């Protein structure tokens, strides 16, 4: 028997699919459409196992739906701008453009080798001018509508690398690349006004029934809408009011300090007039080297400095010390908080750190708080130590105290959001240029649409300290003002790469058009994406930004939907030895090596079989070997009888015509497997249980003894059903076996199987026997009997005769097809 040469078979069918454009799709209003999309990758150099899992999941969905008659859009592209390309240039001297395209070519080859069924005619790369032309066009659309604006904002600045660092690139207050102490600088930055859509972004999450609740909860938390009160504490020595926002005005009598964010505008004034201004300035500079993520972390030791000033509580006139604290962030609320240690855990930790008073003003209804609190009590209760409000339920107190403030002009109810406008400026080279020029006469002027794209120059040296070379590229910077024709300077910042990935799913619908970002008819037909697949790490930024873009484009009349992704699957990580695969841990498994040794079909099968898609997958070499053995068994099962099977017609025997019970049982197993696999793929994406069912069917076929023509016909039906159902998971070997069985056409569009109703019916059913409430045994009876016939057979069974003997039967109850309950006069 010929052994299975997996690599040769895979190369053969990959070539066939590519040459015949098997997965090419076009808009066809006569067909039902399905758009399945995996989050496109950054071309980092090579696919890792996390990539392979993501794309294997999407490929199963795409192949399954084609077989179910859908017109499937399944594209692939590259999120190709970004910092890693510049880092590679610094290390190796390779230009970011060349490094990126070399990686794209390698990763495209890997994706083809894993058998991914993409329509490669739709491939896009965000670093290509024919793509970022439209990224720039979309920026101008935001600008014209007042949603793109420039303002001064603090950034992390590395003085050695001469560049801005993202929060994630600041480690312990130092530059992750060179170790220099990071400075905070204020620079003019471009923003998109995502906050204009905060309410809709929040409210429409409820409409996303196909999204995981975890992701929706993460977005709700990120948007962070909260209802509260804004009031102020007055620093009389400075004649300044410090506004605070709080959702718990009922706890204001428990405020024992006021804390300002280091970035608060009042801090500069305090530094100028305070006797300890130098110490305060040094503290602020130290804190500002840390990212907001580090500063806001729960349980982290908090840092603060007392300013020497006091602020007056608007309710009781009590003076509380004014501190500057690292855990107070300018990005939330007003950048100042009233510190209530007894009823806010972060304030409690700060107060403990600096021996500040802790004053209880809310008592729980059902318990007494200890005299010395071990943690803050953040729940509801009755107000105490709160002047005239004492004795009120705190929720009632919130309403009345808000009214009290409003009547006296001391505050008002307010809605606050954690969400802030999106800072999109990057002082980096490898990104889409911002299409704006600065003219001394005309100010900030958008580049006219007909002059797009503003090309990113490639003749640059990116090795000079890591700083962006664009400000020093005279041919790029110096230009003419589109308004007056005078001398002007180009914007030298580039856009955040998340801008590029916020609309790529729309471009896939018509990537060849050069007249618009997408063709109206195509986007109307294909969108929204029916199934989006990617890691949960993108739950907030990418998914939120894409929703924002879609809602904005809908308001511009460019799309007819307001949500881009109908269903979302967030797949788990691939882990090995209990930890996420990483080079530093030495537990990385190279997909190329696995495919070289075992073939792509084996790699795909293991990835899909080892765990449900949404759960983490523990890598197992033994599991991979087991999947390889299974595919070899399938190969042997078919090829051993291929000549016999080829000569048979494709007319399958109905179960009613099959004489041998053993053969009828096999027929029944085939159709029950069809039913289960269909449900597992279609309804649940439980590929692991679908594959398990196929393995069971394979075992039954291997064990089945073919004794004659009838057996052979049912055996052939089973073998062909197995191949058809395995195809979405392991397409190469299935195409090969299908062809060897004499079928001239590819399986790509072969109709998916439907179970025969007659074959799903059992010949016998198991009836549980219950006597006086206790299960005593069971009997097998022919299916389809009347209730009276079932009762008769049960009463005549040995189980009942032995238990009842001469007892009188008072009642016989039947649960059809499942249970007979007998009640006798002796209930013991």
Taking only the tens place, the pLDDT of each residue in 4-25 is: 999 999 999 999 999 999 999 9
Q: How confident is the model at residue 828 (pLDDT cuts 50, 70, 90)?
A: very low
What confidence tens digit (pLDDT) does each residue in 490-521 have?
Answer: 999 999 999 999 999 999 999 999 999 999 99
On the question of pLDDT at 1 being above 70, the answer is no
Domain with CATH 1.10.730.10 in the chain: 618-759
Helix (H, G, I), strand (E, B) or coil at 186: strand
On the question of pLDDT at 174 being above 90, the answer is no
On the question of pLDDT at 166 being above 80, the answer is no
Strands 319-325 and 257-260: what pairing? parallel
At residue 463, the pLDDT reads 55
What confidence tens digit (pLDDT) does each residue in 51-95 have?
Answer: 999 999 999 999 999 999 999 999 999 999 988 888 887 788 889
The predicted model gives 197-214 an average pLDDT of 97
How many angstroms separate the CA atoms of 333 and 232, rounded? 13
Q: Which alpha helices (DSSP H) does 571-704 contain, by range?
A: 591-598, 600-609, 621-639, 642-647, 661-679, 687-703
At residue 810, the pLDDT reads 87
At residue 178, the pLDDT reads 77
Find where tokens 């709700």 sit. 220
CB atoms within 10 A of CB 428: 25
Average pLDDT, the chain: 93
On the question of pLDDT at 196 being above 90, the answer is yes
What confidence tens digit (pLDDT) does each residue in 743-769 have?
Answer: 999 999 999 999 999 888 887 888 999
Instruction: Quote the CATH superfamily of domain 225-417.
Output: Valyl/Leucyl/Isoleucyl-tRNA synthetase, editing domain (3.90.740.10)
What confidence tens digit (pLDDT) does each residue in 580-630 have?
Answer: 887 667 788 899 999 999 999 999 999 999 999 999 999 999 999 999 999
Q: How confident is the model at residue 183 (pLDDT cuts 50, 70, 90)?
A: confident
Helix (H, G, I), strand (E, B) or coil at 243: strand
189 is written with which tokens? 């930055």
At residue 634, the pLDDT reads 98
On the question of pLDDT at 169 being above 70, the answer is no
Nearest to 616 by CA among 558, 721, 535: 535
Residue 460 contacts residue 499 (beta carbons within 8 Å):
no
What confidence tens digit (pLDDT) does each residue in 298-332 have?
Answer: 667 899 999 999 999 999 999 999 999 999 998 78
Q: Which residues of 30-60 are buried (b: 16+ CB within 10 A; e: fewer)?
A: eeebbbbbbbbbbbeeebbbbbbbbbbbbbb
Q: pLDDT above 90 covers what percent of the chain? A: 76
Burial of 209 (0-12, 13-18, 19+ CB in 10 A): exposed
Cis peptide before 528 (omega within 30 of 0): yes
CATH architecture assignment, domain 764-824: Roll (3.10)
At residue 465, the pLDDT reads 59
Domain with CATH 3.10.20.590 in the chain: 764-824
CA angle in degrees (0–180, nearest 5) for 652-655-660: 105
What confidence tens digit (pLDDT) does each residue in 694-725 have?
Answer: 999 999 999 999 999 999 999 999 999 999 99
The predicted model gives 673-692 an average pLDDT of 96
What confidence tens digit (pLDDT) does each residue in 94-152 have?
Answer: 899 999 999 999 999 999 999 999 999 999 999 999 999 999 999 999 999 999 999 98
On the question of pLDDT at 170 being above 80, the answer is no
Cis peptide before 220 (omega within 30 of 0): no
How many angstroms separate the CA atoms of 80 and 76, rounded? 12
In the CATH hierarchy, which fold is given to the domain comprising 618-759?
A: Isoleucyl-tRNA Synthetase; Domain 1 (1.10.730)
What confidence tens digit (pLDDT) does each residue in 211-239 have?
Answer: 999 999 999 998 999 999 999 999 999 99
At residue 464, the pLDDT reads 57
Residue 1 contacts residue 492 (beta carbons within 8 Å):
no
How many angstroms separate the CA atoms of 456 and 171, rounded? 31
663 is written with which tokens? 């053969």
At residue 59, the pLDDT reads 98
Find where tokens 């620079």 sit. 187
At residue 688, the pLDDT reads 97
479 is written with which tokens? 């230009």
pTM of the entire structure? 0.88
CA angle in degrees (0–180, nearest 5) for 746-747-749: 95
405 is written with which tokens? 């403030």
Taking CB atoms within 8 Å and a gap of at least 24, the contacts of 477-485 are 479/437, 481/437, 481/439, 481/441, 481/442, 481/445, 482/437, 482/445, 482/446, 482/447, 482/448, 482/451, 483/439, 483/441, 483/442, 483/445, 484/439, 484/441, 484/442
What confidence tens digit (pLDDT) does each residue in 262-295 have?
Answer: 999 999 999 999 999 999 999 999 988 777 767 7
Domain with CATH 3.90.740.10 in the chain: 225-417
On the question of pLDDT at 163 being above 80, the answer is no
Q: Which DSSP symbol is given to 750? A: P
What confidence tens digit (pLDDT) does each residue in 533-587 have?
Answer: 998 888 888 999 999 999 999 999 999 999 999 999 999 999 988 888 876 677 8
């Amino acid at each position: 028997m010929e052994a299975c040469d997996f690599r040769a078979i895979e190369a053969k069918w990959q070539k066939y699919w590519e040459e015949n454009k098997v997965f090419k799709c076009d808009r066809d209003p006569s067909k039902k459409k399905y758009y399945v999309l995996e989050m496109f990758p950054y071309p980092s150099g090579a696919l890792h196992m996390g990539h392979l899992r993501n794309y294997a999941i999407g490929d199963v969905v795409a192949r399954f739906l084609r077989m179910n008659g859908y017109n499937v859009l399944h594209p692939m592209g590259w999120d190709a701008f970004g910092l890693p390309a510049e880092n590679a240039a610094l290390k190796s001297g390779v230009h970011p453009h060349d490094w990126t395209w070399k990686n794209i070519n390698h990763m495209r080859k890997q994706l083809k080798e894993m058998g991914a069924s993409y329509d490669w005619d739709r491939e896009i790369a965000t670093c290509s001018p024919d793509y970022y032309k439209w990224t720039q066009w979309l920026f101008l659309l935001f600008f014209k509508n007042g949603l793109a604006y420039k303002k001064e904002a603090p950034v992390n600045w590395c003085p050695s690398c001469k560049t801005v660092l993202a929060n994630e690139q600041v480690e312990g207050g130092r530059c992750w690349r060179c170790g220099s102490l990071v400075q905070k600088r204020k620079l003019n930055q471009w923003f998109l006004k995502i906050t204009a859509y905060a309410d809709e972004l929040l409210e429409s999450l409820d409409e996303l029934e196909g999204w995981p609740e975890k992701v929706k909860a993460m977005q709700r938390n990120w948007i962070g809408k909260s209802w509260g009160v804004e009031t102020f504490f007055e620093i009389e020595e400075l004649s300044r009011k410090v506004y605070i926002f709080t959702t718990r005005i009922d706890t204001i009598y428990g405020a024992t300090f006021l804390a300002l964010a280091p970035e608060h505008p009042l801090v500069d004034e305090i530094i100028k007039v305070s006797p300890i201004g130098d110490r305060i300035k040094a503290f602020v500079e130290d804190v500002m080297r840390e990212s907001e993520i580090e500063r806001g972390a729960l349980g982290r030791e908090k840092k603060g400095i007392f300013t020497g000033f006091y602020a007056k509580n608007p309710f009781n006139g009590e003076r509380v010390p004014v501190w500057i604290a690292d855990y107070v962030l300018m990005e939330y609320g007003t950048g100042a908080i009233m510190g209530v240690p007894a009823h806010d855990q972060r304030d409690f930790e700060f107060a403990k750190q600096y021996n500040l008073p802790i004053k209880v003003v809310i008592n729980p209804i059902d318990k007494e708080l200890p005299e010395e609190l071990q943690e803050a009590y953040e729940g509801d209760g009755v107000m105490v130590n709160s002047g005239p409000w004492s004795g009120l339920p705190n929720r009632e107190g919130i309403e009345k105290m808000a009214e009290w403030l409003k009547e006296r002009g001391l505050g008002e109810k307010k809605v606050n959001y954690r969400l802030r406008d999106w800072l999109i400026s990057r002082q980096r080279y490898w990104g889409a240029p911002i299409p704006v020029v600065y003219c001394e006469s005309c100010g900030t002027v958008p580049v006219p649409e007909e002059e797009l794209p503003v090309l990113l120059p490639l003749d640059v040296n990116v090795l000079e300290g890591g700083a962006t070379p664009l400000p020093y590229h005279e041919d790029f910077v110096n230009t003419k003002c589109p308004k007056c024709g005078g001398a002007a300077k180009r914007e030298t910042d580039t856009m955040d790469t998340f801008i590029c990935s916020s609309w790529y799913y729309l471009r896939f619908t018509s990537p060849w058009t050069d007249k618009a970002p997408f063709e109206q008819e195509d986007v109307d037909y294909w969108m929204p994406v029916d199934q989006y697949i990617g890691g949960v790490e993108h739950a907030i930024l990418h998914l939120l930004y894409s929703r924002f873009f879609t809602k904005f484009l809908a308001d511009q009349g460019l799309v007819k939907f307001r949500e881009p992704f109908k269903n979302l699957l967030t797949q788990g990580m691939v882990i090995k030895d209990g930890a996420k695969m990483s080079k530093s841990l030495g537990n990385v498994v190279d997909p190329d090596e696995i495919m070289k040794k075992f073939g792509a079909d084996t790699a795909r099968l293991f990835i899909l079989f080892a765990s449900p898609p949404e759960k983490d997958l523990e890598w197992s070499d033994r599991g991979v070997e087991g999947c390889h053995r299974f595919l070899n068994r399938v190969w042997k099962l078919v090829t051993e009888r291929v000549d016999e099977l080829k000569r048979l017609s494709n007319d399958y025997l109905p179960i009613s015509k099959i004489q041998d019970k053993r053969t009828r049982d096999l027929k029944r197993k085939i159709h029950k497997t069809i039913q289960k696999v269909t449900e597992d793929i279609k309804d649940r994406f439980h590929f692991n249980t679908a594959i398990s069912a196929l393995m069971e069917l394979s075992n039954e076929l291997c064990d089945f003894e073919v004794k004659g023509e009838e057996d052979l016909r049912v055996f052939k039906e089973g073998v062909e059903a197995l191949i058809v159902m395995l195809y979405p998971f392991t397409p190469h070997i299935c195409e090969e076996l299908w062809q060897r069985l004499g079928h001239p056409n590819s399986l790509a569009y072969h109709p998916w199987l439907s179970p025969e109703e007659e074959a799903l019916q059992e010949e016998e059913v198991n009836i549980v026997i219950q006597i006086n409430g206790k299960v005593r045994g069971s009997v097998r009876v022919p299916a389809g009997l009347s209730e009276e016939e079932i009762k008769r057979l049960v009463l005549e069974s040995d189980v009942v005769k032995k238990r009842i003997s001469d007892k009188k039967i008072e009642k016989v109850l039947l649960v059809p097809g499942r249970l007979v309950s007998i009640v006798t006069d002796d209930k013991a």
